[in-house]
Structure 1
Amino acid sequence: MKKLFTIKTLALLSSVALLSACDKGFEQLNINPDTSPIIVPSYMFSKAQYDALNNSCASTYEFACGGSVQHFSTYKDVPAIGDKYFFSQGTYPYDFFNNAYPLGVNEIGAVINAVKNDPTQANLHAIARIWKAFTFHRITDLYGDVPYSEAGTGYTNANFTPKYDSQKSIYEDMLKELEQAATSLDASKASYGSADLIYGGDVTKWKKFAYSMMFRLSMRLTKVDANLAKTWAQKAIAGGVILDDADLAKVQYIANGQDINKNPISLALRGNNYAVANGNDNTEGGKFAKTFVSFLTANKDPRLNSISVVWVNKTQDTTLAIQKGMPNGLLQKPADFITYSEPNINTVLKLDAPLIVLSNAEMNLLMAEAVIRGWASGDAATYYKNGIAASMRSMALYGDAAAISTAKINTYLAGHLFASSFESQMEQIHSQMWVSLFPNEVEVYSNWRRTGYPKLTPVNITGNLTNGSIPRRLLYPLAEENLNGPNFKAAVASQGENTLTTRIWWDK
């Protein structure tokens, strides 16, 4: 026994010695030269901006939201979550949730943790807080109750099962964060500079962005709590929102290099539907929807010519007379599929097209609503006209081929005077919002659920999951039910079943 123990002991000691010898330089060899253990706030902030905007731009933007608001249609069933209210395979209802947390949410949280205790980086902290609100408002608007207060704490506290916060509490905190961040911005201190993809670190413009976000969120509450909506809307208006072209928030992309440099909506839609570029072999069977094209056509809207084409002899044709949308709810490829309109790859789907994050068109239209509600002073008709004109002018951002002349804008405005009754005014404002926010389909979907305008006729295809009603939210991922079960169950108990028809808090 003693001899056996001695042999085993020597073998063990030899192994330890050998491992010790092998360990020399081992840590150095295992350091990735392309990464840093230290957070560089400016670099991480750029990535947080990229990733918050580049999230499921096909499955969520086109298939789910764009189909639901009848901007897009498809004859196929797999991508038909918004078109036919089907979901039989894939991850379309989950994608935005699954991608948001490990990327944009964690990244902006890391920036905040890196700068929050350094007074010299007060602007970096404030802008990061604003961007965190932007990142989260899209998640909660798509799903309702979601992890918020404990989100990202897997890295900091090893908490891999975060609780779900109520959407009400999330909205209250986002509004508070926007107010505190806006008032703490100081133009005399340093900012992100060129690392800021939207404003190049311009603190004055970020303050307007913060109040504009506050305005967007406050108006989201008109159905659920009009008094709270009014309070925050008036704070936002007093603070100063984006009303002029010069303050429009956008990211300018480039067509070359890595995919992260390219407009994510353009890249996703081209890759998932319009890559072949012949009008017939669209991968997911997608086209512009009949509702969308018919609205633009009936109103003689010059934006149709900027964004829409029909492929004729392998060439994009923008002739207005031939533009037509494909009906939602089709179950087979139409024989005349090639004759339906789709997005112009040389304008709105250019890889170097800018991505409009928050526009003066939206803010002017919301101002028109605030005025008719009695929450703001000014002339609602003027704000309404300014919103439409701003949207039309913004077409020039997609190149000369998309630009709309002042004469055409004035002609359109002259033919679309502001109505006199509240409901008619609301319908005008938000039908214009439905057009003006394109291709930001996540925001189009949220605004439509809040206002109900334009009035859309749902499809009712056999086998759909909503009894023929347009979906009101997306679905929590299966992984949440399996890996974060107690918190998932608490959210469902509070909000309602994890279905496409369960309405979120502000959509009651």
Structure 2
Amino acid sequence: MKKFLYLLTLVAAVSSCTDNFEDLNTNPYQISNESLQQDFNHVGAYYPSMLAQIFGNQVDHNLTNASYAQHLAQPTVFVQNVNNTTYYITWNGYWNRQYNNIMAPAKQVIDIAEADGYTMFAEWANLIRIISMSRATTFYGPVIYTQYGNEGPGVYDSEPTLYAAFFSDLDRIIAEFSANTDYTGLSAFDATYGGDVSQWAKFANSLRLRLAMRISKVDPALAKTQGEKALADPVGLIETNGDNMNIFLYGNKFHPAQICFEWNDTRMSATMESILVGYQDPRIHAFFDPVSDLSLVADHPDWPYKGIRNGAFLVAKDDHTPFSTIDIDFNDPAKVTSRKLLSADEVHFIKAEAALRGWAGAGDAQTNYENGVKASFELWGAGGVDAYLADNASLPIDYDDPVETGDVNDFVNQITNTIAWDEAASDEIKLEKIITQKWIASYTNEMEAWVDFRRTGYPKLPPVYQNSSNADWGVVPTGEFIKRMPFINGERQNNPSGVADATAKLGGPDEINTRLWWDTGGPNF
């Protein structure tokens, strides 16, 4: 990473010299523009830093989608416990991170690459733009994509326009990658696939499948067309863990580990405890660490893991910090060197749902479902997958907060679906099995779990205990769940006409209870 930053510094140094100075004072030790271009450094140096910004920081991830998907929860009493996690929007930084650190440099590198005829680098940057904006839109809905970088105030795309653009751009990108699988220019800048263009094509195709399933309820015809295109494309899909798309950390610490171990601001969620302990899921040992105080798990001492309810009533931080941390291995950069963005388990689960929806080429729903679970067990080094898949009795457990008296923070489990596949069950029961297992497997990539929950209603999550929503950002009715993040104040102040147009395209007020386009609230079938 230091090499890439150093090269960027050199680029800046070279470009800052005046023509007259260069004519009169040639530095024999200075790296020239020609030298930088020899190994594609003048374009390639941008990519590691762009990819590193995909997940965001504590605010972008831990206090937003990781909480809303209910994988992690926090013991900390932020702002008198009235904050994002209790549905009062206090922090909203993902927009700026994606535009300042991905969209802006991507535009720069595309301009450079196109001027120099480096089409592969330009399309690689375009693929990173799709990654970024396909995630940002799950927060906000309409975003600035097709007209980003044009003069004047930013013009937002409606969600139908946005997804059509994603699919069109993926057509072009996959075609370019497929035609140039022997291209080696990306190698020095690609920690994910080592410059293997065929692997990037496979990832791009898998991303198409993800986006197609995301819109399957609101536009089933387009979803089927795009999904079947991905299933039939000869470039293939990510279906083994060796093909997973991982964002490398370049020696940096996995960010939630810093939040967990250095700041003590995150812990296992109560929902994770309920589902993983109830299902006796061996992956729990790779996800979280057991508690040292067994009085916290008196109702299940053989599975000594304790979580915090999302949106919990909190009095003092120290009350819940003894609860389960994430696994200690996450705190070691030598053991956790990357973070998954799209993995084989997700693709198998999407194919299982696609089979239920009748998409050609999806295969058998049960086979895909079980392959998804197996891929996740393999990824996390868990044993006993065959016995797990045969379990037709275990269910998630009710949750009790041992710190609080009475029913404070407690909930009764609403999931009545077991793990084992039942071919005679309805498609709705089968979908619940698929999405519940997909939710578990998406650990460390919670944004997709939050998408699926809003899209399908699965898994059956408990509502937040403390709902602090009000008219400032929109009211989430008791027992319901946050549906989006509002447009950021910077856009409201600096681009009011754009935000007004975006709100019209949103189809509802710029509030946290307005559904996104693909979140129809209607039946799954």
Aligned to 1:483: 494
Q: Supply the distance in 1 between the matched residues of 2:328 and 2:152 (Cα, whole angstroms).
A: 42
Name the stretch that deviates more: 245-254 or 468-477.
245-254
SS in 2 for 1:251: strand
Matches within 5 A, 1:360-379: 360-377=344-361, 378-379=363-364
The residue identity in structure 2 corresponding to 1:46 is: P
Shift, 1:68, TM fit: 1.4
The residue identity in structure 1 corresponding to 2:42 is: V
User: Structure 1's 47 and 337: CA in aligned 2 closer, same or farther, altered over 3 A?
Assistant: closer
Shift, 1:360, TM fit: 0.5
Matches within 5 A, 1:2-401: 40-53=42-55, 55-56=56-57, 58-75=58-75, 76-78=77-79, 81=83, 83-87=85-89, 89=90, 92=91, 94-116=92-114, 121-151=118-148, 153=149, 159=151, 161-185=153-177, 186-239=180-233, 240-254=236-250, 261-263=251-253, 266-267=254-255, 269-275=256-262, 282=264, 284=265, 286-312=266-292, 321-328=303-310, 329-333=312-316, 337-346=320-329, 348-352=330-334, 353=336, 354-377=338-361, 378-395=363-380
Which structure would you say has the larger Rg? 1
- 1:159-206, CA deviations, whole angstroms, 9 ceiling, x for partnerless residues? 352111111111100111111111122113343013012111111111
Aligned Cα root-mean-square deviation (Å): 2.9
Q: Supply the distance in 1 between the matched residues of 2:22 and 2:197 (Cα, whole angstroms).
A: 46
* Contact 1:47–1:107 under 8 Å retained in 2: no
Aligned to 2:389: 413
Aligned to 1:504: 516
Name the stretch that deviates more: 61-70 or 73-82.
73-82
Name the stretch that deviates more: 288-297 or 349-358.
349-358
Shift, 1:297, TM fit: 0.5
Q: Supply the distance in 1 between the matched residues of 2:141 and 2:309 (Cα, whole angstroms).
A: 30
User: Structure 1's 462 and 390: CA in aligned 2 closer, same or farther, altered over 3 A?
Assistant: closer
Say how many residue pairs are matched.
Answer: 443
The residue identity in structure 1 corresponding to 2:257 is: R
Q: TM-score, normalising length from structure 2?
A: 0.78
Q: Supply the distance in 2 between the matched residues of 1:111 and 1:95 (Cα, whole angstroms).
A: 24
The residue identity in structure 2 corresponding to 1:307 is: F
Q: TM-score, normalising length from structure 1?
A: 0.80
Shift, 1:365, TM fit: 0.6
The residue identity in structure 2 corresponding to 1:270 is: A
The residue identity in structure 2 corresponding to 1:65 is: N
Identity of aligned residues (%): 26
Name the stretch that deviates more: 226-235 or 61-70.
61-70
SS in 1 for 2:303: helix
Q: Supply the distance in 2 between the matched residues of 1:311 and 1:438 (Cα, whole angstroms).
A: 20
Of 421, 427, 431, 2:432 maps to 427
Alignment of 1:438 onto 2:430:
no
- 1:444-499, CA deviations, whole angstroms, 9 ceiling, x for partnerless residues? 21122122110112135363332332111112111111111111111123312221
Q: Supply the distance in 2 between the matched residues of 1:434 and 1:363 (Cα, whole angstroms).
A: 13
- 1:138-167, CA deviations, whole angstroms, 9 ceiling, x for partnerless residues? 11121111111232x2xxx6x352111111
- 1:197-242, CA deviations, whole angstroms, 9 ceiling, x for partnerless residues? 2111111111111110000000000121111111100001111211
User: Structure 1's 107 and 224: CA in aligned 2 closer, same or farther, altered over 3 A?
Assistant: same
SS in 2 for 1:434: helix
Q: Supply the distance in 2 between the matched residues of 1:145 and 1:195 (Cα, whole angstroms).
A: 31
Stretches of structure 1 lacking an aligned partner (at least 5 in a row): 1-22, 255-260, 277-281, 396-402
Q: Supply the distance in 1 between the matched residues of 2:205 and 2:218 (Cα, whole angstroms).
A: 21
- 1:333-379, CA deviations, whole angstroms, 9 ceiling, x for partnerless residues? 38852442221232x44434121111000000101111111113422
Q: Supply the distance in 1 between the matched residues of 2:194 and 2:354 (Cα, whole angstroms).
A: 31
Aligned to 2:505: 494
Name the stretch that deviates more: 74-83 or 187-196.
74-83
Q: Supply the distance in 2 between the matched residues of 1:113 and 1:24 (Cα, whole angstroms).
A: 26
- 1:56-78, CA deviations, whole angstroms, 9 ceiling, x for partnerless residues? 3x112211111112222235244
Name the stretch that deviates more: 70-79 or 425-434.
70-79
Of 427, 443, 449, 2:454 maps to 449
The residue identity in structure 1 corresponding to 2:71 is: H
The residue identity in structure 2 corresponding to 1:391 is: S
Q: Supply the distance in 1 between the matched residues of 2:302 and 2:143 (Cα, whole angstroms).
A: 44
Q: Supply the distance in 2 between the matched residues of 1:35 and 1:148 (Cα, whole angstroms).
A: 34
The residue identity in structure 2 corresponding to 1:489 is: A
Shift, 1:136, TM fit: 1.1
Q: Supply the distance in 1 between the matched residues of 2:467 and 2:306 (Cα, whole angstroms).
A: 26
User: Structure 1's 455 and 462: CA in aligned 2 closer, same or farther, altered over 3 A?
Assistant: closer
Q: Supply the distance in 2 between the matched residues of 1:287 and 1:34 (Cα, whole angstroms).
A: 48
Q: Supply the distance in 1 between the matched residues of 2:303 and 2:318 (Cα, whole angstroms).
A: 20
* Contact 1:288–1:342 under 8 Å retained in 2: yes
User: Structure 1's 463 and 357: CA in aligned 2 closer, same or farther, altered over 3 A?
Assistant: closer
